[in-house]
Amino acid sequence: MAVTTLQSFRGCAVRDFAFVANKPGCRSLRINTEACWGRCHTWEMPVPEPPYIKRHHSVCTYSRTRHLTARLPGCRPGVSPIYHYPQALQCDCTYCSSNHTECETF
């Protein structure tokens, strides 16, 4: 079975993803889910008039999700053990929306 790396993959896909759920007052829990993964086509081009640049930046992000919950272990009295997280059902290359994605640039 060939392993696909981010350097060789072009596009956007759903991929297995594991993370540690943390919440104050509870013990942490490792969660396995699906998330978006990939590289999308982007470009920038100088132009003679303001704003002096034409650009197209898309990111690999969620287009369809399912919202799931997990029960965190060892919660203190009065702390809800319920933890909410998204599961990717479909991912696409599109403009970044801060509704569900961190859209920071470096």
- Output the pLDDT for position 104: 67
Q: 97: closest CA among 36, 41, 44, 16? A: 36
pLDDT tens series, the chain, 106 aa = 555 565 667 789 999 999 999 999 999 999 999 999 888 888 788 888 888 888 777 888 888 999 999 999 999 999 999 999 999 999 999 887 777 667 765 4
- Output the pLDDT for position 78: 96
Q: Which H helix or E strand runs over 38? A: strand 29-39
Question: Can you give the residue ranges of every domain in the chain?
Answer: 11-94
- Output the pLDDT for position 11: 85
- Output the pLDDT for position 41: 82
In order of 14, 18, 60, 75, 89, the CA distances from 85 in angstroms are 15, 12, 18, 18, 13
Q: CA 58, CA 35: separation in Å to the nearest integer?
A: 17
- Output the pLDDT for position 85: 95
Please give the biggest Cα pair distance in the chain: 64
Q: Which residues contact 100 (CB under 8 A, 6 or more apart)?
A: 61, 62, 65, 86
CATH of 11-94, one of 3.90.1300.10, 3.40.720.10, 2.10.90.10, 2.60.450.10: 2.10.90.10
Q: The whole model's pTM is what?
A: 0.70
